[in-house]
């Protein structure tokens, strides 16, 4: 690395990642990150730095390798989502505005051999998902919400359904005497879609891609507020002690009074994951045991406290400490992975970008950790994953071929 300016950039990054940068260092590094092509240039310099240091590789610790990929953060293309990497130093904001995906392979050193993912033209690239869904009314009428104008959408059985200027669906009771016959509504998303709804009781639900939520158009005549979920959703439930809120999903019922939680219940996943952020929930599930007369099924229950997560699989539940940021990242517009296999990562990516994933020669091994904005085109996500040198991609139409 003969270029003095290149050496200066790498030196600034090293100080930044080690939290040893002075105020002037931070200002200089931040100025560089705002220049055109900073993302590609920084990655290239870091790769070159490792390549030229092969003879001294033993001096490069796993921690430094991790920092190289995990300390660089992205700019999520949404002004309100800018994040800080670490606290302000000498009054200089340490928020780094750069579109880079942090990635690290556990127990693997970074290698510079191999070529990065081939350039993908704008015509070939796949844009991220969008804010839309299909609302199916009790009458059977279907409304594609991205095509509907703001204002009243329908009025059925004493309930008026509207779309706000922000794209949110709301329910208003016009005549409580007839809401007992209001029927069920279903909000559904395809792959590459997400949507937020305000339920008749004032609760909010964010629906992830390839999911559906079925609920009454009015809870006024019900003893409980019962909904059915397929896929994934984040809930912020309006408190009502007399009318518990119940979410039915594959093999379990989650009962709450008022709380914030996330349920991931896709059929293609290994089990159902319930993550509690606030309040408390009771998870009722179908359990089984073996007796003299064979397998006996029964209903069991567990309770979650904030920061806990349950995993229901094969009629048994495990409770663990939750990575709340990772579990709710999708709702905040991000992907976050912590020591996840590429197959699990690609399932989330496939749902958001509406792609088919095909593995060539088996599924690549390794535990991936990192984060990236869901507002990026798929080429940026795949290029970042491929930077680990342990996985490669080929994009053909809406098919992504994955190989070692």
Pair of tokens at residue 88: 């302000």
What whole-number distance in Å separates Cα of residue 203 and Cα of residue 236? 6
CA 286 centroid distance within chain:
28
Average pLDDT of the chain is 79
Q: What percent of the chain has pLDDT over 90?
A: 47
Per-residue pLDDT tens over the stretch 341-375? 999 999 999 999 999 999 998 999 888 888 889 99
Q: Is the pLDDT of residue 99 over 50?
A: no
List, for residues 182-232, the tens digit of each pLDDT value: 789 999 999 999 999 999 889 999 999 999 999 998 887 788 999 999 999
Sequence-separated (6 or more) residues with CB below 8 Å from residue 94: 16, 26, 84, 85, 86, 87, 88
> Can you give the pLDDT at residue 180?
61
Which pLDDT does position 118 carry in this prediction?
Answer: 54
The answer to whether residue 238 scores a pLDDT higher than 70 is yes
Q: Walk me through the domains of the chain, giving residue ranges and CATH numbers.
A: 4-100 (no CATH), 130-327 (2.60.120.1440), 333-403 (3.55.50.30)
Pair 254, 282: CB distance under 8 Å: yes
Q: What is the pLDDT of residue 237?
A: 95
For residue 59, pLDDT beyond 70: no
Give buried/exposed letters for 211-246 (b at 16+ CB in 10 A, else e): bbbbbbbbbbeeeebbbebbbbbbbbbbebeebbbb
| CB-neighbour burial class of residue 115 (10 A; exposed 0-12, middle 13-18, buried 19+) | exposed
Whether the model clears a pTM of 0.85, i.e. scores above it, the answer is: no
**Cα 50 to Cα 65, 80, 93, distances in angstroms:** 9, 35, 28
Judge whether 164 and 150 are in contact, CB under 8 Å.
yes
């Amino acid at each position: 690395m003969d270029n003095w300016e290149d050496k200066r950039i790498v030196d600034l990054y090293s100080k930044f990642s080690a939290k040893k940068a002075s105020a002037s260092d931070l200002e200089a590094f931040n100025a560089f990150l705002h220049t055109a092509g900073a993302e590609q240039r920084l990655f290239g310099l870091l790769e070159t730095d490792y390549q030229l240091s092969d003879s001294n590789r033993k001096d490069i610790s796993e921690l430094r390798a991790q920092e190289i990929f995990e300390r660089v953060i992205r700019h999520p293309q949404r002004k309100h989502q800018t994040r800080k990497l670490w606290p302000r130093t000498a009054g200089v904001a340490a928020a780094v505005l750069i579109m880079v995906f942090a990635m690290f392979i556990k127990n693997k050193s970074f290698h510079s051999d191999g070529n990065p993912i081939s350039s993908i033209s704008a015509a070939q690239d796949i844009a991220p998902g969008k804010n839309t869904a299909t609302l199916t009314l009790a009458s059977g009428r279907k409304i594609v919400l991205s095509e509907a104008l703001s204002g009243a959408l329908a009025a059925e059985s004493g309930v008026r359904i509207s779309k706000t200027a922000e794209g949110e669906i709301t329910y208003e009771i016009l005549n409580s005497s007839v809401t007992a016959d209001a029927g069920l509504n279903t909000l559904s998303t395809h792959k590459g879609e997400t949507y937020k709804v305000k339920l008749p009781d004032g609760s909010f639900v964010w629906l992830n891609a390839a999911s559906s939520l079925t609920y009454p158009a009015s809870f006024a005549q019900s003893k409980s507020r019962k909904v059915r979920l397929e896929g994934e959703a984040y809930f912020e439930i309006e408190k009502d002690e007399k009318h518990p809120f119940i979410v039915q999903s594959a093999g379990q019922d989650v009962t709450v009074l008022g709380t914030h939680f996330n349920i991931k219940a896709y059929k293609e996943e290994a089990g159902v994951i319930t993550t509690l952020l606030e309040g408390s929930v009771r998870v009722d599930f179908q359990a089984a045991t073996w007796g003299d007369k064979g397998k006996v099924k029964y209903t069991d229950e567990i309770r979650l406290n904030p920061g806990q997560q349950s995993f229901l699989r094969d009629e048994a539940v495990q409770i663990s400490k939750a990575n709340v940021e990772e579990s709710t990242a999708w709702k905040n517009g991000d992907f976050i992975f912590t020591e996840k296999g590429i197959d699990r990562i690609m399932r989330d990516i496939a749902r958001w970008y509406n792609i088919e994933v095909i593995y060539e020669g088996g599924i690549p091994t390794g535990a991936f950790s990192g984060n990236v904005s869901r507002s990026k085109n798929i080429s940026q996500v795949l290029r970042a994953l491929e930077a680990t040198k342990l996985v490669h991609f080929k994009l053909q139409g809406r098919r992504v071929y994955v190989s070692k």
